[in-house]
A and B are shown apart, each in its own frame.
Chain A
């Protein structure tokens, strides 16, 4: 009897999906996305003994500089977590209705990022000309009189290094100043550190 059970168990393990040992949510093991033309599966690291190592396992952060951010910095901007980011990628990004923005400096983005994200370093929010170009990419049209038509602005999720990083806030504030609709921007406060702490897939440039 025991043997039958263990064979059945073994069989169910072997036949289970490749990413079912550690799932994202109960009904989602992975999501397929495109990152710079390459198909990538966002899933979680399946090795249950895997530890977070490297830069994002660091817990000593200088403040002033890397102070802990509030759960929300603006009543109009909704804060989201990993499940909402993955679902956003599945439903919005994959249908060209939205984009995930990595607000960290270019160097960090080039090293490692969340699949499908584009890089808009927070520092560009101070640069009027750069912002105009960014807005155009995000579906905002600059009218001849200098004002913006935000009707076709796409949905955004903005993140940076972690809950102790204020770069997302700076970029979002810059977008709001240009008239970007607040209901089209979401803030992923956990950021890259929490994404990695849950073993979610990243893309690395070698």
Chain B
């Protein structure tokens, strides 16, 4: 009798488990990436009726400074969606840059990203030069050589955020190759709207 009950329960619960799968794509349920020796798991939120209620569900950021951004920053700079971001991280194609101010980055960010605030790229100073050198650029007698630079992928708060586009435009101006830059326009807002979880650095430190 007990066996029958257990079997019945098993078959009753089976469809629930089958339905509750929120994979990324049909082939991928999650992706594990490694950054600086630390593993991050990228997956979509589990469950059925989960809603976005944090500050990234705000629809109307004041203008100025916030406007909806064009789909492309420049002709030669590819715009990425979530799958392309994940592929970039999985295959270690380059540096994933959170171009927001550090205070934002410290609250939450996308796993695998490093913080280089957009302002760093906007001024001609040592701070910018050091950031560029770290990315593989070389400066010779005041002239930049970008031939061995790493591919960079930039994001900020969302499609209404002009920070990563501003950084990309500033880099184009000094000769950083457009082909070596990618733009994740959806940013951390779209990342969450399609169901991905964010990385909370402080929370992890206290674990």
Residues of A whose CB lies within 8 Å of any CB of B are 20-26, 44-53, 57-64, 67-71, 79-84, 162-164, 189-190, 193-194, 196-199
Classify the secondary structure of B's interface with A: loop
Please, which residue of chain B has its CB at the minimum distance from the CB of A45? B60
Contact call B79/A26, Cβ cutoff below 8 A: no
Supply 15 further A-B pairs (C-beta < 8 A) apart from A46-B60, A48-B58, A63-B25: A21-B63, A45-B60, A47-B60, A48-B61, A51-B53, A57-B53, A57-B57, A60-B45, A68-B194, A83-B70, A197-B57, A197-B59, A197-B158, A198-B159, A199-B60
Question: A61 touches which one: B22, B26, B57, B82 (CB < 8 A)?
Answer: B22
Would you list which residues of chain B between 78 and 111 have a CB under 8 Å from chain A?
Answer: 79-84
Contact call B21/A64, Cβ cutoff below 8 A: yes
Question: Chain A's nearest CB lies how many Å from the CB of B192?
Answer: 6
Contact call A71/B60, Cβ cutoff below 8 A: no
The 4 lowest CB-CB distance pairs between A and B, nearest first, are A199-B59, A81-B71, A71-B81, A60-B50
Q: Which of B25, B66, B69 has the most CB of A within 10 A?
A: B25
Q: Which of A21, A44, A47, A196 has the most CB of B within 10 A?
A: A44
- Residues on B with C-beta less than 8 A from A44 are 59-60
Contact call B58/A49, Cβ cutoff below 8 A: yes
Contact call B50/A58, Cβ cutoff below 8 A: yes
Q: How far is the CA of A193 from the CA of B51 in the complex (A)?
A: 13
Tell me whether B38 is interfacial, beta carbon within 8 Å.
no
- Residues on A with C-beta less than 8 A from B44 are 60-61, 63, 68
Q: How far is the CA of A50 from the CA of B62 in the complex (A)?
A: 11
Contact call A68/B21, Cβ cutoff below 8 A: no
Q: Interface size (B, Cβ < 8 Å)?
A: 49
Question: A70 touches which one: B45, B70, B83, B194 (CB < 8 A)?
Answer: B83
Q: How far is the CA of A57 from the CA of B52 in the complex (A)?
A: 5
Question: Chain A's nearest CB lies how many Å from the CB of B88?
Answer: 12
Would you list which residues of chain B between 156 and 207 have a CB under 8 Å from chain A?
Answer: 158-160, 185-186, 189-190, 192-195
Contact call A63/B67, Cβ cutoff below 8 A: no
Contact call A60/B62, Cβ cutoff below 8 A: no
**27 A–B contacts, CB within 8 A, in A order:** A22-B62, A25-B70, A26-B67, A48-B61, A49-B58, A52-B52, A52-B57, A58-B49, A59-B195, A60-B46, A60-B47, A60-B49, A60-B195, A61-B22, A62-B21, A63-B44, A68-B194, A70-B83, A70-B84, A71-B83, A79-B79, A81-B68, A81-B71, A164-B195, A194-B190, A196-B59, A199-B60
Question: Chain B's nearest CB lies how many Å from the CB of A55?
Answer: 9
Contact call A51/B47, Cβ cutoff below 8 A: no
Tell me whether B145 is interfacial, beta carbon within 8 Å.
no
